[in-house]
Chain A
Amino acid sequence: DMKVTQMPRYLIKRMGENVLLECGQDMSHETMYWYRQDPGLGLQLIYISYDVDSNSEGDIPKGYRVSRKKREHFSLILDSAKTNQTSVYFCASSRDRGREQYFGPGTRLTVL
C-alpha cells in the first residue's frame, strides 16, 4: 500500500523554538516536496528534493530549511519559529520528477 506518512500530526510551539517536521514514504520515490496550506492562499511550495542531498527552493523557502539523508525521509526544519509559520504542512512525493504527487495527511503547526 503506497503511503506518505508525516509526524507529528499536531504540534504547538512557542515563538523562537525550533521545529522539526518529518516525512516518510515507502514508494522509493526520488522526488519529495514540502507545501504549506493556508486559508485564502491555497497550497504553496516550500522546498523540493530531487534525491538525497539534492534540494531546491520552492516559492516560499524563507524561514525554512530541509534535510534529506535517505531517499525515504524528508525533513522540514524551522529554526526559531515565527507566529506567521502557523499553518498546515504537507509532504508529498513523486516518482522521478513526475506529475503525480502523493500527499501525506499533514501536520498542523501552531506557533504561539
Chain B
Amino acid sequence: GDSVTQKQGQVTLSEDDFLFINCTYSTTTYPTLLWYVQYLGQGPQLLLKVTTANNKGISRGFEATYDKGTTSFHLQKASVQESDSAVYFCALAPNYAQGLTFGLGTRVSVFP
C-alpha cells in the first residue's frame, strides 16, 4: 500500500533561519504530494500541493517540490518567523482518490 515517511519529529529554529523538512513516499500510482500545516488547537490546513515531479509549489513564502527518482518531497522556507511555529505534515494522494496518507508530522518551533 501507499506510505509516507517523515522522520524529523521536531525542528527548533530561530527567526530568519532556513527551514527544510523532507519526506519520502512509496506508491504505485502517480501521486499528488501535499503539505499541511496544523496550528495548536486547529485542524490541518492545506499549505501546498505539487502534482507533477520537479515542479514547484509556492505559497506564503514556502516552497515544495518532489523528486520521482528519489521518491522524496520536501518543504522549505528561506526565513522563518515565530508565527510559522506549527506542526507540518506531508501527505500523499494517490490518483485513485482515496483518503490522504499522512506522515507523522514535524513540530517546528521558532524562537525570536
> Which of A13-21, A63-71, A76-84, A93-101 is near enough to bind chain B?
A93-101
Number of residue pairs A-B, CB distance < 8 angstroms: 53
With A42-B105, A99-B32 already in contact, the answer to whether A48 and B46 are too (CB < 8 A) is no
With A42-B105, A99-B49 already in contact, the answer to whether A33 and B99 are too (CB < 8 A) is yes
B40-70: which residues lie under 8 A (CB-CB) from chain A? 41-46, 49, 51
Main secondary structure of the interface of B (DSSP, over half): loop
A2 to chain B, nearest CB (A): 11
Do B102 and A43 have beta carbons less than 8 Å apart?
A: yes
**The residue from B36, B49, B97 contacting A97, defined by CB atoms under 8 A apart:** B97
15 residue pairs of the A-B complex, CB under 8 angstroms, read A31-B97, A33-B99, A42-B105, A43-B89, A45-B100, A58-B98, A90-B43, A90-B44, A96-B97, A97-B97, A103-B43, A103-B44, A103-B45, A104-B43, A106-B42
A-B residue pairs, 10 tightest by C-beta:
A97-B97, A103-B43, A45-B99, A99-B93, A43-B102, A99-B32, A42-B104, A103-B44, A42-B102, A105-B43
**Chain B: residues with CB nearer than 8 A to chain A?**
32, 34, 36, 41-46, 49, 51, 89, 93, 97-100, 102-105
